[in-house]
Amino acid sequence: MPKSKKTEETMAPVEEAVSQQTQQSAPQPTEGLQLTDLRIMLQILDVVTARGAIKADEMSTVGTLYGKLKTFIDQTTQPAPSTDQGPVDSEGGQPD
């Protein structure tokens, strides 16, 4: 069955994003689930909800999953907090 023009137009941004992320992650091993895979999942959820492919009674479940994925990705990609506490004197304490 041929794709409609509307379907091709709405899929173009997702396909482009998937292509870009696949190219960026090419040096990584393809085994297992990668952060790029999770980002693609978020984009897919955005597209299907925008198209109305999710039924009303399924939206809370999809929204919860979307929130969990987004939180995980945000936490995973944040830089680790600095534990630097400034200069230390020879006895292991803070200088006066």
- Residue 40 has a pLDDT of 95
Q: What is the pLDDT of residue 25?
A: 55
Which pTM value belongs to this model? 0.53
Q: What is the pLDDT along the chain (96 residues), one digit of tens a residue?
A: 455 556 566 666 666 766 666 566 555 556 888 999 999 999 999 999 999 999 999 999 999 999 999 999 999 988 877 676 666 666 656 655
The DSSP code sequence of 2-66 is: PPPHHHHHHHHHHHHHHHHHHHHTTTS-SSS--HHHHHHHHHHHHHHHHHT-S-GGGHHHHHHHH
pLDDT for residue 31: 80
Cα–Cα dist 50/88, whole Å: 55
pLDDT on residue 35: 92
Q: Write down the pLDDT at residue 55.
A: 92
